[in-house]
């Protein structure tokens, strides 16, 4: 006599229910569950680069001309040069990156544009992205800028993550709401 699987009725095989995929709208407090490689959430990361303050001036005779290089995995973008703005530049610029929830950090390198010589490295900030994947939006906040191990100012950045098809919810029968 053949044994049946636990949970199956006599003569009926046990059938596993389909997985439920939820994509919560922006501002929701739902947290994503751990996902396998095949279930990674892909989407766009919008970065609002507001400004910086307290930066160490690398130009001794005049105000520095800072700009930012934003790097998210292999994607790199550059802000405009805040000409003559010195240690407290303001950009108020938006940048968009294509990411998955496996992308762990956003790196922002601050540079001083120098005509005729190599640009000077001012410092960098590494911003973890785990919170923006869970919350979908992080209002502009201050992050430490460091050069090596030394603190050298702060940068103000806002983050928004929008998953692909975020408004689609797959029901148990596979149809979309």
Residue 32 lies in a domain: no
Residue 18 lies in a domain: no
Residue 88 lies in a domain: yes
Residue 17 lies in a domain: no
CA distances from 57 to 21, 87, 109, 113, 164 (A): 50, 6, 15, 12, 41
Q: What is the count of structural domains for the chain?
A: 1
- Domain, as residue range, for 115: 47-163
Sheet holding 150-163, edge to edge: 75-78, 66-72, 105-112, 120-128, 137-147, 150-163, 42-53, 90-100
pLDDT in tens, the chain (177 residues): 444 444 444 554 444 334 333 444 445 455 544 545 456 789 999 999 999 999 988 777 778 999 999 999 999 999 999 998 989 999 999 999 999 888 999 999 999 998 888 999 999 999 999 999 999 999 999 999 999 989 999 999 999 999 987 554 443 444 444
Query: What CATH number has the domain bearing residue 126?
Result: 2.60.40.150
Tell me the pTM: 0.72
């Amino acid at each position: 006599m053949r044994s049946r699987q636990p949970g199956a009725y006599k003569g009926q095989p046990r059938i596993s229910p389909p997985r439920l995929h939820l994509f919560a709208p922006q501002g929701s407090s739902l947290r994503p569950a751990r996902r396998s490689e095949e279930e990674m959430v892909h989407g766009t990361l919008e970065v609002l680069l507001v400004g910086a303050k307290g930066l160490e001036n690398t130009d001794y005779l005049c105000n520095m001309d800072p700009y930012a290089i934003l790097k998210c995995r292999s994607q790199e973008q550059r802000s405009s040069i805040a000409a003559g703005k010195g240690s407290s530049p303001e950009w108020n610029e938006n940048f968009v990156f294509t990411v998955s929830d496996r992308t762990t950090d956003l790196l922002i390198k601050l540079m001083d544009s120098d005509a005729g010589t190599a640009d000077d490295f001012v410092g960098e900030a590494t911003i973890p992205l785990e919170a923006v994947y869970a919350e979908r939006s992080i209002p502009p906040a201050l992050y430490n800028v460091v050069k090596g191990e030394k603190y050298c100012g702060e940068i103000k950045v806002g983050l928004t993550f929008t998953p692909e098809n975020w408004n689609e919810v797959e029901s148990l029968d596979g149809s979309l709401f």
